[in-house]
Amino acid sequence: MRPFAHEDGAAAIVVGGLTPLSTTDWPGMLAATVFCQGCAWNCPYCHNAALRPFGAGERPWAEVLAWLETRQGLLEAVVFSGGEPLLQPGLNGAMRHVRGLGFEIGLHTSGMDPQALARVLPLCNWVGLDLKAPRAAYERITGVAAAGHAAWESLGMLRESGVVFELRTTWHPSLLSEAEILELAEEIAAAGPPSWAFQAFQPEGCANAELAAKECLPVPERLVVSLRRVFGRNGKLVVRN
């Protein structure tokens, strides 16, 4: 994990992109989405591969903040996405600035740094937590041995916090079998009543040519039926093809 800093040594947030208006990054909210540059995991299906390398951002945070000032009363929220926002030392300060402008705060994260999540969680109104795989397959998907432990520690923290959150999993059948997806569903359900968005892989933005070239198919209905059976009446499952 590589920190970013201004030339004067103060912590910075490095912006790799900005979506001025989104209704999907935080379902039900009119939001701007700030994409943070840099991620320490190497998930092969990543659809934001351009944001994975650590380096210079697309635009200064001060410029984005000035633009957000012009959106007061027009947008409801700002979502910090990535890359991985938790790797930005300046995330806490950026969120405080945005809250000061009257926006609600959303966060997209893989939960790779539970300590960083603990610092910013009190500033969040909503979190989308990206669960990659069942625990046993986490290292295979992310390339990092301790990834599964970090993600599930972050999930436990979210459940205890009272902050509204949604779990999200992107599925490429070449990477995870249907049996492994059902294993993940059982792990999620065992942790408490879940709200889970199960998303079919989309090739746009994926740097893995082999995965991107494979035909994208809807989630099989037999798998959807099995997932709903695992969740029972208490869980909320949304399938996004």
Determine contact, residues 143/160, Cβ cutoff 8 Å.
Answer: no
pTM of the model: 0.91
CATH code of 15-240, in short, is 3.20.20.70
DSSP structure class, residue 216? P
Domain boundaries, the chain: 15-240
Residues contacting 131, CB < 8 A, separation 6+: 151, 155, 167, 168, 169, 184, 188
Q: Which H or E run contains 115?
A: helix 114-120
- Looking at residue 215, its pLDDT comes to 66
The helices-and-strands tally (H runs, E runs) of the chain is 8, 8
**pLDDT, block means (10 residues), the chain with 241 residues:** 39 89 94 97 89 88 95 97 95 96 98 97 97 96 95 95 94 92 92 84 78 78 92 82 79
Structure tokens at 221: 């209905």
- Looking at residue 9, its pLDDT comes to 36
Cα R_g (the chain), whole angstroms: 18
